[in-house]
Amino acid sequence: MASEKPKENFRSREQQATLGLMRTAEAVKRSLAHVIEPHGITPQQYNVLRILRGAGSEGLPTLTIGERMIEHTPGVTRLVDRLERKGLVARTPCPKDRRRVFCGITSKGLELLKELDEPVNRWDAQAVSVLLPNDLDSLITLLDRVRASNY
């Protein structure tokens, strides 16, 4: 006789949905880490590099980087410190306010992102490959709505 998967007990459909969302996000994050970490950086460091690539040559203050991160963390300065030690990020003092420091991606950081672009693009496609195009559109809309209601 085949073993039956035990049913999980939830207090409500809302709890089932929120826990499912959190478990799915964690599974996706772990899967992405397998693509990124062999290149010597963590998913959070990858996120910082992508943010800085999008900022262009002007760079961004650390606080702004933290606001734009997927996963908000109080340790943005430490993330930038590690990236700077690896030569992927450089800091530049603001000429108008010496208390502000701008972080910018280095050419080495851009090269790393270029190297990761294709594997991450393949991973993106694979991560949601079980969904039909209409399902993907619905998922994006639903996630946007849930996220908007939680800010």
Residue 56 in domain:
yes
Would you state the pLDDT for residue 119?
Answer: 97
Would you state the pLDDT for residue 57?
Answer: 85
Residue 97 lies in domain:
15-149
Residue 7 in domain:
no
Would you state the pLDDT for residue 50?
Answer: 97
Per the structure, the count of domains in the chain is 1
Residue 84 in domain:
yes
Distances (CA, A) of 4 to 10, 20, 24: 18, 20, 22
Residue 2 in domain:
no
Q: Hey, what amino acid is at 118? A: E
| pTM assigned to the model | 0.86
Distance from C-alpha of 95 to C-alpha of 122, rounded to nearest angstrom: 41
Residue 10 in domain:
no
CATH number for the domain that contains residue 97: 1.10.10.10
Residue 1 in domain:
no
Low-confidence ranges of the chain (pLDDT < 50): 1
Would you state the pLDDT for residue 2?
Answer: 52
Reading the block at residue 71, the tokens are 């996963």
First to last CA, the chain: 48
Concatenating the DSSP letter of every residue in 93-109 gives: E-SS-TT-EEEEE-HHH
Residue 5 in domain:
no
